[in-house]
Amino acid sequence: MTAQRNMIAFDLGASNGRAILGQFDGERIRLKELHRFENNFIEMNGVFYWDLPYLYDQMKKGLLAFRQGGFGDLDSFGIDTWGVDYGLLDKNGHLLGLPRSYRLGVQADIDAVTARIPAEELYRRSGIDTTLTFNTLYQLHRRQREDDAALAAADKLLLTPDLLGYFLSGEAATEYTIATTTQLYDPTARDWDWRTIDQLGLPRHIFTPIQPSGTIRGHLRQSLCRELGLNRAAHVAVGSHDTASSVAAIPGTGSFAFCSSGTFSLVGVETDRPDLSAEAAAAGFSNEGTIQGGFRPLRNIIGLWLIQECRRDWSKEGRHYSWDDIVALAQEAAPLRSIIDTDAPEFYAGGDMEKKIRDFCARTGQPIPDTPGQTARCIYESLALKYRKAVEGLEQIKGVPIDSVNIVGGGIQNRLLDQMAADATGRPVITGPIEGSAIGNLLTQAIALGDLGGVEDLRRVVRASETVETWQPHPSGDWERAYEKLLSFLN
């Protein structure tokens, strides 16, 4: 390899995005944040949209920051984002309206599909939890039922990271890990689920070829090179689902479960084959892809979305709290006072989140959180207990005990939640790296460029480059009683 690689990870979550420079010398990787920006969906006439032109412009600002930083030539860039959402292009390659946000989904979308194809059959075909209203399958079928003009005119469907990559490089394709989030990927055939696509009458031609993670898809458009003063850096289709990139960067060994902690918390294990059993379906597990071409049986758990929405509501009321303020208030609140099922249907939609939590507690005969600290503590403790439920289900799938939980992502900055996760699961919790998705993104680029041989080499670099922290569990009868309460809500 060259003396040093310069690579950029565009790491976009459902609340913010970053352009992060990775400088790799073959042994260690150093990170530098080039640009950070907010990302919020926009509601118009009852539909939630992502502001794609804004996101594209912010990515250009990240590239410009690289050039202005005087770092030399850029070797490559890769993009990872949240799953399931997509945009539509017409035959000229132009965007057909703003992409819709997954926050729009409702139970009726599921019912309309399962009336045609039973949920059990859908799970056997895709291995994706059929109860998730936001799945791409349900989004597309809704638009079809509505005689959506954009869908009728579409020439291509591109999932969010592939869509943004198309506007940067001009190449249209679908990366493997993001395809597996859609409920339209057949893990047995290793291709799109053409049976479901045909049964629902979705247009076949909009689905682009699926490429493995680590494919060099193309290069930065010539027009952008001229505009930004950059060389034609390679566009690598990394593990473009942010969770896939996060999991790739986990430095763990032995029998561990992973948790990617962010707006959603995704708790799972790595396997070579999907688990398409009725037991996995009943436990709510989804089989999403790994960068090495395997699978991640995991639970999608509503994560820090709950506290993000509460903070948004508090700000509207003139109560402005930093994230550290909220954690401090939670620490002062009484422990295990009230527990919620974080995945109850009412929590998926934005708005009035604090009221929804209070209503859940009132409905279940629990003390109602009266302060921001009580609300935050209720969220954090409930989330930790949901981790335990997921880990116990994963042990059944894996067939061996899980010794530890490795948590990556921005959520690990909440040290109170890290300790709660250890206490609730009764297992050591290892946290780090914070920038898991960005590091996985960057080092998958290094694999594509020929500098690393695969995921084991990638994890060796992570262990050499990053410091992790271990949280020992302090189980108690109070946690056990709280867990029994949570289980009563789920039965």
The model's pLDDT over 296-321, given as tens digits with 9 standing for 90+, comes to 999 889 999 999 999 999 999 999 99
Please, what is the average pLDDT of the chain? 95
**Are 318 and 403 part of one and the same domain?**
yes
**Are 154 and 117 part of one and the same domain?**
yes
**Are 26 and 159 part of one and the same domain?**
yes
pLDDT of residue 303: 92
**Are 164 and 189 part of one and the same domain?**
yes
Residue 328 confidence (pLDDT) above 90: yes
Q: How many domains does the chain have?
A: 2
**Are 273 and 134 part of one and the same domain?**
no
pLDDT of residue 399: 83
pLDDT of residue 377: 98
Q: Which of 212, 237, 262 is the last residue of a domain?
A: 237
Stretch 471-480: mean pLDDT, rounded? 96
Q: Judge contact between 413 and 307, C-beta under 8 A.
A: no
445 in a structural domain: no
pLDDT of residue 475: 87
pLDDT of residue 1: 62
**Are 150 and 293 part of one and the same domain?**
no
pLDDT of residue 293: 97
Q: Which of 237, 264, 290 is the last residue of a domain?
A: 237
Task: Spell out where 213-294 has E strands.
Answer: 215-219, 234-237, 256-261, 264-268, 286-289
245 in a structural domain: no
Question: Within 216-304, where are the H helices?
Answer: 222-228, 242-248, 278-282
Residue 103 confidence (pLDDT) above 90: no
Tell me the percentage of the chain whose pLDDT exceeds 70. Answer: 100
CATH number at residue 320: 3.30.420.40
**Are 199 and 263 part of one and the same domain?**
no
C-alpha of 66 from chain center: 26
pLDDT of residue 104: 79
Strand (E) or helix (H) holding 31: strand 29-38
Residue 169 confidence (pLDDT) above 90: yes
**Are 391 and 255 part of one and the same domain?**
yes
pLDDT of residue 350: 85
Task: Spell out where 160-305 has E strands.
Answer: 174-175, 185-186, 191-192, 210-211, 215-219, 234-237, 256-261, 264-268, 286-289, 295-302
Residue 123 confidence (pLDDT) above 70: yes
Stretch 245-256: mean pLDDT, rounded? 87
Identify the band that residue 398 occupies on the pLDDT scale cut at 50, 70 and 90.
confident
**Are 194 and 265 part of one and the same domain?**
no
**Are 329 and 394 part of one and the same domain?**
yes
**Are 255 and 213 part of one and the same domain?**
no
Residue 2 confidence (pLDDT) above 70: no
pLDDT of residue 28: 97
pLDDT of residue 410: 85
127 in a structural domain: yes
Stretch 187-202: mean pLDDT, rounded? 98
Stretch 30-37: mean pLDDT, rounded? 98
What is the domain extent for residue 124? Answer: 5-237
Residues 6+ apart with CB under 8 A from 141: 109, 112, 113, 200, 202
Residue 337 confidence (pLDDT) above 70: yes
26 in a structural domain: yes
**Are 137 and 228 part of one and the same domain?**
yes
pLDDT of residue 55: 98
Q: Which of 237, 258, 285 is the last residue of a domain?
A: 237
Identify the band that residue 253 occupies on the pLDDT scale cut at 50, 70 and 90.
confident
Residue 42 confidence (pLDDT) above 80: yes
180 in a structural domain: yes
**What b/e readout covers 317-354, taking b as 16+ CB neighbours within 10 angstroms?**
eeeebeeeebbebbeebeebbbbbbbbeeebbbbeebb
Residue scoring higher pLDDT (3 or 241): 241
Catalytically active residues, by annotation: 242
pLDDT of residue 487: 96
